[in-house]
Amino acid sequence: MSTAEYTAATIDLDHDTPEALLELFTARGWGDGLPLVAPTIDRVAAMLAEASGPPDEVIAILQPRAGVVTRRVVAINAVLAGCAPNTFPVVLSAIRALARPEVNLRGVNATTHPVAPMVIVHGEVVERCGFNAGTGGFGPGNRANATVGRAVRLILLHVAGAVPGSGDASTHGQPAKYTFCAAENLAESPWGGYAATRGVLEPSAVTVHCGEGPHNVHDAEAAGDPALILDKIASSMTTLGMNNAPISQAEFFVVLGPEHARSLAAAGLSREDVSSYLYERARLPAALFRRHFQELAWATWIKIVADDALLPMTGHPDNVRVVVSGGPGKHSFVVPSWGMTRSVTVPVTG
C-alpha cells in the first residue's frame, strides 16, 4: 500500500472526540469495548519510525482468518491501544512469535477454553521502555505493560479474526483477553535471564505463552523452606480440571516471586532443579487420568504404565518453564497452557 492509497483509505470523523471514535468502532464490530486512541496518520508514522523494515512488508499471517500482518497494521493497532512508540518493536516481536506454527494460533483463538497469550518482556528494553517487572506487574497501573498486551489482543481481534462468537469460541472468556503482559524481574532473578535458556542471547526478547489466567501460590513460612514452596506449587499444578491434564506436550509457566526465588536459590537449587522437582511432584495416578479422559494426548511411554503408577502432569521437565517476576511478598503463580500449544521466545526486533 502506497502512502497515497493509505491516505485514501482513512476515515474522517464528524467529531474529533474519543466518544465518536468509540461509536464508530462499536458500530463496525471493532475494538475491545474500551476507549481507543485515534490512529491518525501522524501517530501511525511515529510508531513506524521505531521499526527498521518496510511498513507494508508482510511479516506474519494470523489464524483463524489468515489475516495479513504488516508493520503498518501493527502500528495502527498499537496506536489504538495507547502504546508509546518506543514499545512498538515489542508488539511486533510478540506478533511474530504468535504466528509461529508451534503456537497453534488457530486452535488458541478458536477453542472454547479461556486461553489468552501471556507476554513476558525480557532484557534491556524493560528499563528503556518502562515495563513493570515488580509489584503488580501483571495488574493495572503501568502504560507499557497494559498497552502492549492490549495491542496484541486488538491485533488478534482485527486481523486474526478472534472475535467472540465467530472466531473466538471461548465459553466464558477471561480478563486476560484484554491484556496480559509484564516483564521479567531480571534484577532479582538468582538464575539470570529466562530468554537465554531458550537460546535467545540478544539484549532484549519477548516470550508468548498461551494459557489460563494466573493460579496464585502462597507460601509465607518464615524459613522459606524450598520443599514447602515447591510442594504448594506442585499442588496447584495437579488438577484434572485444566486443559493441560491429558496432554503430555503441555507447558506450565511458573512465575516465581523474588522472595520465593531467593529461598530456592539459597538452598542451592537451579532453575532446572525447580523444573525437575515440580515434574516429579506434580503427579496423579494413571487410573485417575484414564477414568476422567477418553482422549489422552499422551506420549507412548505414558500410555503403557500400570494404573497405580503416578503420572506427571506433563511429559518432560523442560515443559515446566520458570521465570522470576513481581515484587515483595511470598507469592508465586502458575499459568497452565491451553495444552496443544508451545511457548515461543524471540528477540525484540523492528
Spans of the chain below 50 pLDDT: none
Distance CA 196, CA 202 (A): 8
Per-residue model confidence (pLDDT) at position 1: 54
- pLDDT at site 99: 98
The dihedrals phi and psi of 102, each to the nearest 5 degrees, come to -70, -20
Of all helices (H) and strands (E), which one includes residue 36? none
Cα angle 107, 113, 114; round to 5 = 110
Q: What pLDDT score was predicted for residue 299?
A: 87
For the record, the C-alpha cell of 335 comes out as: 499459568
pLDDT of residue 341: 97
**Residue-range domain boundaries for the chain:** 3-213, 215-336
Question: Can you give the pLDDT at residue 302?
Answer: 85
pTM of the model: 0.95
Q: HSE, CB side, 13 Å, CA atoms: give it for residue 318.
A: 5
What pLDDT does residue 11 have? Answer: 79
Q: What is the pLDDT of residue 3?
A: 55
Confidence at residue 330, expressed as pLDDT on a 0 to 100 scale: 97
